[in-house]
């Protein structure tokens, strides 16, 4: 499986699309409604879609595919994988479908799409002469993403860390990043004030910005098995990548460090603030990058191939079992 998706032939892209269709078919037939923690921006999307779950699921599928291929291209551009690999695209699709229920219709799908552009901006900082516009774009997109989950504003610390890692620390970059992440809120709160709905809408907007250290629990047994397997191989990949940060390409080494800290940043946000089960899917982006990079740079992949094949089968079976149980009920 790893070697097969290490090439970029058209057949690989078609197969990724077909695998995604197979995994998502139960959601297309019987889409579920999102019932996680409050999300201001996603509530607006629900309103625009007239709460039509069929429309929402179809759009989510398109966004997931686009995100997978954008993430794969990001990895190629920054040397995470070979120039013809499609491995990270298929990994992202598998990871984002590892949970049943609301995993195909939730705010995290939209957040991950925007955070790919944030990562892309941070990773190209060493290659440009004027980082200010790039830092602003990354911060502004993070601000827009935080309209879905307001606790994501604290990822501004992650942007500052990336600035420090790339050694472009200056008061201008820090100031621009603060302006960028605050700007979406300034515009939105100004609109609330103009419409005389500032108090009620602000409550909804910042509802998730509460300390909540209650751990997330998974009830579905197959979900637990899949999650544990993915967690296990991801942890191996994290330690494997961390142990080989002597990479001669200094920019690749820095971007790998940024990706590792991205995992830590997401973990801290989910640990400290309000979350639901689907919030765990925020790990999909960095997990796919790290796992993809690790698998593309090891010699012996036999057991990884077996594990990923088993995970793929379990994910497909789990999606259809959930559909059958839903129909039975």
Helix crossing, 53-77 with 107-123: angle to 10°?
20
How far apart CA 155 and CA 68 sit, in angstroms, is 22
Q: Domain ranges for the chain, please list them.
A: 4-123+212-328
Alpha helices in 80-106 (DSSP H): 87-96
What's the pLDDT at 66? 95
Q: Of all residues in the chain, what percent carry a pLDDT higher than 90?
A: 42
Overall average pLDDT of the 78-105 stretch: 86
- pLDDT tens by residue, 196-216: 888 877 877 887 777 777 777
Here the tokens at position 66 are 């686009």
Helix, strand, or coil (residue 273)? strand
- pLDDT tens by residue, 250-291: 888 888 999 999 999 999 988 888 777 888 889 999 999 999
Q: How far are the Cα atoms of 123, 143, 191, 226 from residue 195, in angstroms, in the given order?
A: 39, 22, 6, 47
How far apart CA 212 and CA 282 sit, in angstroms, is 17
N-terminal to C-terminal alpha carbon distance within the chain: 36
- pLDDT tens by residue, 150-178: 889 999 999 999 999 988 888 999 999 99
- pLDDT tens by residue, 282-322: 999 999 999 998 888 888 878 888 889 999 999 999 888 88
What's the pLDDT at 8? 66
- pLDDT tens by residue, 35-66: 877 788 898 898 898 888 899 999 999 999 99
pLDDT band at residue 247, thresholds of 50, 70 and 90? low
Nearest to 80 by CA among 234, 259, 205: 259
What's the pLDDT at 154? 92
What's the pLDDT at 329? 60
Q: Which residue has the tokens 């980082």?
A: 131
How far apart CA 144 and CA 134 sit, in angstroms, is 15
Q: How far are the Cα atoms of 13, 27, 30, 98, 233 from residue 33, in angstroms, in the given order?
A: 29, 10, 10, 17, 31
- Name the DSSP letter for residue 276: -
What's the pLDDT at 298? 81
How far apart CA 110 and CA 97 sit, in angstroms, is 15
pTM summary value: 0.92
> What DSSP line would sit under 171-231, residue for residue?
HHHHHHHHHHHHHHHHHHHHHHHHTT-HHHHHHHHTTT-SB--PPP----HHHHHHHHHHH
Handedness of CA 100, 15, 114, 79 (dihedral sign): positive
- pLDDT tens by residue, 106-126: 899 999 999 999 999 999 888
- pLDDT tens by residue, 2-12: 776 777 677 88
Here the tokens at position 221 are 């047994």
**Number of other residues whose CB lies within 10 A of the CB of residue 322:** 21
Nearest to 109 by CA among 31, 161, 178: 31
Q: Is the pLDDT of residue 228 over 70?
A: yes
Q: Of all residues in the chain, what percent carry a pLDDT higher than 70?
A: 97
Q: Is the pLDDT of residue 23 over 80?
A: yes
What's the pLDDT at 250? 83
Write down the mean pLDDT value for the chain: 87
Burial degree of 206 (CB within 10 A; 0-12, 13-18, 19+): middle
Compute the 3-state secondary structure of the chain and give helix, strand, coil in percent, each to the nearest 5. 75, 0, 25
Here the tokens at position 277 are 């089960």
């Amino acid at each position: 499986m790893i070697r097969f998706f290490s090439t970029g032939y058209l057949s690989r892209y078609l197969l990724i699309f077909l695998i995604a269709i197979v995994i998502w078919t139960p959601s297309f037939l019987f889409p579920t409604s999102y019932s996680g923690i409050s999300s201001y921006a996603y509530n607006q999307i629900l309103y625009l879609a007239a709460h039509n779950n069929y429309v929402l699921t179809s759009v989510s599928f398109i966004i997931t595919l686009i995100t997978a291929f954008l993430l794969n291209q990001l990895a190629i551009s920054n040397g995470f994988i070979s120039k013809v690999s499609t491995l990270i695209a298929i990994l992202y699709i598998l990871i984002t479908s590892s949970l049943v229920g609301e995993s195909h219709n939730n705010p995290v799908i939209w957040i991950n799409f925007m955070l790919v552009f944030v990562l892309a901006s941070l990773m190209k900082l060493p290659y440009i002469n004027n980082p200010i516009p790039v830092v602003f774009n990354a911060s502004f997109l993070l601000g827009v993403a935080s309209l879905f989950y307001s606790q994501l504003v604290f990822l501004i610390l992650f942007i500052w860390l990336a600035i420090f890692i790339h050694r472009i620390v200056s008061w201008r970059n820090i100031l621009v990043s603060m302006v960028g992440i605050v700007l979406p809120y300034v515009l939105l709160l100004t609109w609330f004030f103009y419409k005389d709905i500032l108090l009620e809408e602000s409550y909804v907007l910042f509802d998730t910005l509460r300390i909540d250290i209650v751990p997330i629990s998974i009830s579905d047994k197959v979900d637990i098995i899949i999650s544990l397997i993915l967690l296990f191989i991801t942890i191996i990949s994290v330690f494997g990548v961390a142990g080989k940060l002597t990479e001669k390409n200094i920019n690749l080494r820095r971007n790998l460090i940024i990706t590792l800290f991205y995992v830590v940043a997401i973990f801290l946000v989910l640990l400290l603030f309000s979350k639901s089960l689907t919030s765990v899917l925020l790990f999909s982006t960095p997990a796919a990058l790290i796992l993809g990079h690790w698998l593309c740079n090891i010699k012996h992949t036999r057991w990884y191939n077996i594990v990923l094949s088993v995970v793929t089968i379990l994910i497909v079976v789990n999606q259809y079992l959930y559909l059958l149980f839903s129909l039975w009920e």
